[in-house]
Every structure is written in structure tokens, then in C-alpha cells.
Amino acid sequence: MRFELTDEQRAFGEALDGLLSAADTAAVARAWADGDTGPGLKLWARLADQGLTVLATEATAVEVCIAFEALGRHAVPGPWVESAAYLPIALGHEVEGVATVAAPPRVPYALDADVADTVYLAGPDGLAEAEVGEQRASVDRARRLFAPAVEVGGAPSLETSGDSAFDLAALATAAQLLGLGERVLADTVTYAKQRRQFGREIGSYQAIKHQLADVRIALDFARPLVYGAALSLAEPVETTPRAVSAAKVMCADAAYLASRTGLQVHGAIGYTQEFDLSIWITKIRALVTAWGTPAFHRARILDSLVGA
């Protein structure tokens, strides 16, 4: 299959990139991690005005992937997967304000529940409103995780399949990882062209060229799986969950390779929390296991292939 974005889809992605490039998202992410959610919520409102919160119900999964790749590329904090991917499908309508959800066992904690207008707990009978429980630590300081506490509302019946909601959330996470990997690779290439050792740019050394090329190949191989799964979600078939899981596994592997390579090329400065690279690297590490661990998605692929 030859897949290319339409002119309208490219323009949508470029508009998002332009908006986020001007928003100093690194500063927004640092403020969010420190408990100052004001800048992040202002950015949330601007992105909602651009239609990001209605994409799941009013656009296609392709547009959802375009948006979430941009969110990943710019490390935008907040429960975007929950509010703009999972809950609109699970509830059957657009979510008002900022919402988050926990869906044990695959998603045991509710992301950023302390700033959400509504916190949901997903179970076999549907969704119920829940209270904010105990906070748990994340490797990504801009991801504040909370165990959902006592349910405070009834569990409405879902209008659509819970699996469809999970698949779109997992695919949105894969798209975020793709964007994160692309950003880390771009920043690492820029650094390799600037950093000099022994009288030469370090990017001129063959070993570093090979490492960066491996990342480029991994990301390029992951991208078609993302959009292939997005097309499959438009008209779900038996292999749709497998396509989503394959995209999540490949994007997680590619982004993680980008983070490891970026850290190695940057050297000691890459380990410092003050350096912006840390924002992207820690978010990649957190999202690798978000909305289904690699083991879960690999098992789902295997079960689909062998018919278990």
C-alpha cells in the first residue's frame, strides 16, 4: 500500500507544529512538572480551539496520529491520550474540559488526575467517575500518576467498544513516541554537527553516522505501521488489534533507540536535568509502557498470528 497524507492533512500538521514551536513547550513541561499547570492549561485551551479534542469523534484516526505525533515532537504535557483519544470513543461523545481515566490492569493509574475536571475509572461494566487517590512517581516528572480511589458515580454503558477506545489510545501513544523519537534524532543530529573533538565535528565520525542512521531507519520503518493501523481503525477487522500493537511495539523500540543514541552522542550533558534533552528522553521511557507494555502488545500480536 502506498500511503501519503493529503494536502489538508499536511497543512493541519504544519499548523500544529507552528503553534507548538512558538509555545516554548519545554518551559511548559518544566512548569507542569513543578506543579505550575497554568501555562500547560493555557496551551491546552489553544489546542482545543484548534480541534484536537474532537478529532476522535469528528475526524479519522489518521488526523489523530498527525496531532499526537506533533504533541510528542514538542513534549506537550497533560492527559491528552485520555481526553482526546480514549474517552471520546469510550463515552461516544466529545469530552468537556480536561478529563483522565484509569483502565486497570493495562492502565492502572490516572494521568494528571489532580488537574482534571473529571476522573474516570474503566471497568468491565463501563466507566464510572472516581476520586483522586494516592500519587505515584513516574520517570517523567511531567507525568503525575494517581491511583483512582472510591467510585463516586454510576457506571454508564459504553456506546462503543472499549477495545476500540483502547486501540485508539494505544495508537495515539505510538504516534507520540514517533514524534518524540523524531525530535530526539533531529536535536542529536544538530548537536553532532556543532560539537567538536580532536578538531572535527563529532558527526563526521563514521561510528556516530552509523548510530544516527540506525535511528533514522527505525523511525522510517515504524511510521507506515502507525498509518496502516490508523487506516485499519477506520473499518475495524479481525487484524486491527494486531496492527495497533505492531505500531506501538515498533514506535516504542524506535523511540527508545533514539533516546539511547541521543544520550550517548550528547555525552555527559545529556544526563543533566537542566538540559532539554532530558524532557524528551524521560517521556519516551514513560510512554514505552503506557497503554500496554511491550510484553502485552507482543503477546497480542502472537495470539493473533497463531490463533490462540
Pairing of strands 196-197, 145-151: unpaired
**112, three cell numbers:** 494528571
Cis peptide before 105 (omega within 30 of 0): yes
pLDDT tens for 39-72 read: 999 999 999 999 999 999 999 999 999 999 999 9
Domains in the chain (CATH in brackets) are 162-306 (1.20.140.10)
Crossing angle, helix 162-194 and helix 206-234, to 10 degrees?
160
pLDDT, tens digit, 9 for 90 and up, residues 105-132: 899 999 999 999 999 998 877 888 888 8
3-state secondary structure of 191: helix
Q: CA end-to-end span of the chain, whole Å?
A: 28
pTM of the model: 0.93
Report which of 58, 63, 109, 57 is spatially closest to residue 87, judged by C-alpha positions: 57
- For 30-81, the DSSP string reads HHHHTT--HHHHHHHHHHHHTTGGGHHHHS-HHHHHHHHHHHHHTT--SSHH
The pLDDT score that the predictor gives to residue 236 is: 82
pLDDT tens per residue, the chain (308 residues)?
566 888 899 999 999 999 999 999 999 999 999 999 999 999 999 999 999 999 999 999 999 999 999 999 999 999 999 999 999 999 988 898 999 999 988 999 999 999 999 999 988 778 888 888 899 989 999 999 999 876 655 544 444 445 899 999 999 999 999 999 999 999 999 988 876 666 677 655 678 889 999 999 999 999 999 999 999 998 888 889 999 999 999 999 999 999 999 999 888 777 788 889 999 999 999 999 999 999 999 999 999 898 75
